[in-house]
Amino acid sequence: MTGLLAIGLLIAASLAIGVYGVRAARTAPDFLVASRRVGTGRNAMAIAGEYVSAASVLGLAGLLLKNGIGTLWIAIGFTAGYVAVVALVAGPMRRSGAYTVPDFAEYRLGSPAIRKLCGAIVLVIMWLYLVPQFKGAGVVLQLVSGTPYWVGVVLAGVVVSGSIAVGGMRSATYVQAFHYLVKLVFIAVPAVYLMVHVGPEVRADALTPVGVPESWSRPLLDIENSGHPLLATWSMLLATTLGAIGLPHVIMRFHTSPSARAARRVGVIVIALLGLFYLFPAVYGLLGRVLTPHLVHSNATDTVAVVLPGEAVPGALGSVLTALVAAGAFAAFLSTSSGLLLALAGGLSHDLFGGRGLVGRLSRLRLAVAAGALVSVGLSLPAAHLDINMLVGWAFAVAASTFCPLLVLGIWWPRLTVRGAASGLVVGALTATGAALASALTEGHSGLVTVLLAQPASWTVPLAFATMIAVSLRGEPPAGAERAVLRLHAP
Amino acid sequence: MSGGRRVKVTSPQTRIALARRSRGVRGSLPLPGPADPQRAARVFREQRRAALRTVALLGLVLFGTSGLLAAAPAPADLTVSGLPLSWLVLMSATYPVLLVIAALHVRTAERIDARVPDPPAGERG
């Protein structure tokens, strides 16, 4: 009951701040300027708030409990992604004036056809990313209220698409900054309390876990004991670091900064905020190994962060701590999936089916939000047994194999051609999604094949880059390409 | 109701694209090039060098650390106040390094942007 109350309060507070944010934005003559008045720190908090998803709040602790300490490389990769963003895309993307990847592709290559291709890839990435968020909502609601899994998923779809349709979330940088704080505090406070509460014996047990396979304490990531931990770790690092560059909802956020210079600086603060947050999920995984090892056998490790406080601390305080973590997880899910669903709806209504039509632009966007949410809910229902981080990892891998080469080469290499970009995008999208599908639907491969399918970035990213470069070198770059590139870097 | 007027918001790029579409004209984008092409080219080259350096450093840290841990696993008895050293690297020690790399890059990039153009003698009249 306490958990439901906490989640209810969180949603109410988010709506209140959202309404306040919308009003603040509307009094200004220009919507854009309003967003640019937001200070650097708050802006960075909003970006971190949108970026830290259910994968970080629930998934990391769960995967650490299940697969071992090497899981933490995922969090490092998420953070390192922002170093790549700062170094490669933040400034130039801000200068380009393009809000989305399809926008950028059309700016840089001057081809409306490539906009449609990018729009389709946006859908793939966003759905891969949304499904685990909805799964997280379903699991958390099931834990705190006992409703069946599907109720939580459907409710999540209704809440998120409803709040976007009302229009509260878009302008509200405030809401997402608030959500970052909620996530940080609601994960950190119970974590610190638990560490102190469990006593020295449990703490020592957590550091020297018994009854785990030897590979559990190895500081590398492995997939189903395939025997190639270094390859799996590197592939995952490649996917998360380069994937952050290509995530459509990340790119949109550069425009809440007033200049390229500010966009880069905001990126640095985001790294600090992410690093601070990622100190805490490990606590749940490590203590969970001692206190709730049964979750591993019941294949419910994604729930450890919510289950653990109740098991470690008896009585009312335990339920309060559980409620805190549940509300934190819900904040993660709310802010991330709103951003994702908006990017998805934008791709659907603007890039793919834009242009003519009887329906107005706004109602088309609302229709796209509803359609996008409906498909996500439909995909999430049978996904209950898939690890949150596995799915998010695939979203990163597809982004790293498609939009990352497009943006990096588009920004730094004037010779990129339309044909080169298009073939690289197709190759990257087909190989990365194909590998993910094969990994999810088939079983019984040898160790090496398992890794190459489950963590495809190690071969799909180089392949996509190579395709773009090789095909581009055989053709002529579009007219004015040199000028367009220089303009992205002109201070 | 507040008195503010509601404005239609479109990205500059979308605006151009839409305008072009309605005119039915295709071709190069009507965007102005950089004001000083020579300086822009020089800034571009320097920024590219800085970006490559940062990405290489990032790769070295990520792949180097994990590679080192794979090649020479830190002995289990090597601990810092009870915590195995290798765990500490994964749990917290890497984040400050990432932050420093990013901060250094931003400093370099801002210096390149701020540098006063100094055209070679004789090129300007």
Hey, where are the domains in chain A? 2-385
Task: With a cut of 70, say whether residue A348 has pLDDT above it.
Answer: yes
What mean pLDDT comes out for the span A434-451? 86
Identify the CA nearest to A329 among candidates A19, A39, A60, A149.
A60
Contact B90 A70 (CB under 8 A): yes
Residues of B in contact with A283 (CB under 8 A): none
What mean pLDDT comes out for the span A10-38? 58
Residues of B in contact with A86 (CB under 8 A): 54, 102, 105-106
Residues of A in contact with B54 (CB under 8 A): 83, 86-87
Does the CA dihedral A481-A485-A486-A487 come out positive or negative? positive
Contacts of A413 (CB under 8 A, 6+ apart): A469, A472, A485
Contact A80 B62 (CB under 8 A): yes
- Rounded Cα–Cα distance for residues A214 and A464 (Å): 36
Which 20-59 residues of chain B touch chain A by CB within 8 A? 21, 26-29, 31-35, 37, 40-41, 43-44, 47-48, 50-51, 54-55, 58
- Rounded Cα–Cα distance for residues A269 and A436 (Å): 33
- What is the fold, at CATH topology level, of the domain defined by A2-385? Sodium/glucose cotransporter (1.20.1730)
Q: Is B105 on the interface with A (CB under 8 A)?
A: yes
Minimal CA separation from B3 to chain A, in Å: 7
For residue B64, what are its two tokens? 């180097």
Contacts of A222 (CB under 8 A, 6+ apart): A67, A68, A70, A215, A228, A229, A232
Identify the CA nearest to A78 among candidates A395, A420, A473.
A395
Contact B95 A31 (CB under 8 A): no
Which of B2, B10, B14 to mutate: most A Cβ within 10 Å? B14
- The values of phi and psi at residue A225, to 5°, are 50, 45
For residue A426, what are its two tokens? 């197709």
Residues of A in contact with B42 (CB under 8 A): none
Q: Is B87 on the interface with A (CB under 8 A)?
A: yes
> C-alpha dihedral over A289, A292, A294, A296, to 10 degrees?
-50
Per-residue confidence (pLDDT) for residue A168, from 0 to 100:
45
Contact B9 A355 (CB under 8 A): no
Residues of B in contact with A483 (CB under 8 A): 31, 33-34, 37
Among all chains, which residue has been given the structure tokens 């304490």? Answer: A217
Phi/psi-derived region of residue A211, left when phi > 0, alpha when psi is between -120 and 50, beta in every other case: left
Residues of B in contact with A118 (CB under 8 A): none
Question: In the structure, what pLDDT confidence band is assigned to residue A386 with cuts at 50, 70 and 90?
Answer: confident
Minimal CA separation from B18 to chain A, in Å: 9
Phi/psi-derived region of residue B29, left when phi > 0, alpha when psi is between -120 and 50, beta in every other case: beta
Model ipTM value: 0.89
Per-residue confidence (pLDDT) for residue A207, from 0 to 100:
81
What mean pLDDT comes out for the span A437-449? 84
- Rounded Cα–Cα distance for residues A126 and A340 (Å): 6
For residue A156, what are its two tokens? 């999540």
Task: With a cut of 50, say whether residue B123 has pLDDT above it.
Answer: no
Question: In the structure, what pLDDT confidence band is assigned to residue A299 with cuts at 50, 70 and 90?
Answer: confident
Contacts of B81 (CB under 8 A, 6+ apart): none
Contact A86 B11 (CB under 8 A): no
Residue-wise pLDDT for A85-132, tens only, equals 999 999 998 888 777 888 888 888 888 889 889 989 999 999 999 999
Residues of B in contact with A93 (CB under 8 A): none
Contact A26 B63 (CB under 8 A): no
Residues of B in contact with A237 (CB under 8 A): 62-63, 66
Residues of A in contact with B98 (CB under 8 A): 76, 79-80, 82-83, 271, 275
Among all chains, which residue has been given the structure tokens 């490539």? Answer: A114
Half-sphere exposure of residue A47, counting CA atoms within 13 Å on the CB side? Answer: 36
Task: With a cut of 90, say whether residue A58 has pLDDT above it.
Answer: no
Per-residue confidence (pLDDT) for residue A37, from 0 to 100:
57
A-B contacts at Cβ under 8 angstroms: 193
- Rounded Cα–Cα distance for residues A236 and A387 (Å): 15
Report residue A177 CA to chain centroid gap.
16
Task: With a cut of 80, say whether residue B23 has pLDDT above it.
Answer: no
CB A223 within 8 Å of CB A455: yes
Minimal CA separation from B84 to chain A, in Å: 8
CB A12 within 8 Å of CB A20: no
Identify which of A218-232, A266-280, B20-34 has the greatest average pLDDT.
A266-280
The end-to-end CA distance of chain B, in Å, is 59
Per-residue confidence (pLDDT) for residue A1, from 0 to 100:
65
Among all chains, which residue has been given the structure tokens 């690289």? Answer: A424
CB A109 within 8 Å of CB A341: no
Task: With a cut of 50, say whether residue A329 has pLDDT above it.
Answer: yes
Among the partner-chain residues B44, B63, B109, the one whose CB lies closest to the CB of A234 is B63
Per-residue confidence (pLDDT) for residue A398, from 0 to 100:
96
The secondary element (H helix, E strand) that includes residue A48 is helix A40-51
Which 139-178 residues of chain A touch chain B by CB within 8 A? none
CB A45 within 8 Å of CB A26: no
Minimal CA separation from B36 to chain A, in Å: 9
Average pLDDT, chain A: 85
- Rounded Cα–Cα distance for residues A182 and A325 (Å): 9
For residue B59, what are its two tokens? 């790769």
Among the partner-chain residues B3, B55, B110, the one whose CB lies closest to the CB of A84 is B55
CA angle (B78 as vertex; B73, B81 as ends), nearest 5? 135
What mean pLDDT comes out for the span A445-469? 92
CB B25 within 8 Å of CB B16: no
> Scanning every residue of chain B, which has its alpha carbon at the shortest distance from the alpha carbon of A489?
B44
Q: Which residue has the higher pLDDT, A164 or A414?
A: A414
Contact B101 A233 (CB under 8 A): no
Burial class (CB in 10 A: 0-12, 13-18, 19+), A398: buried
pTM (whole model) above 0.80: yes
Q: How far is CA A474 from CA A404, A416, A419, A464, A470, in A?
A: 21, 10, 10, 16, 7
- Rounded Cα–Cα distance for residues A1 and A9 (Å): 12
By DSSP bridging, strand B79-80 and strand B83-84 are antiparallel
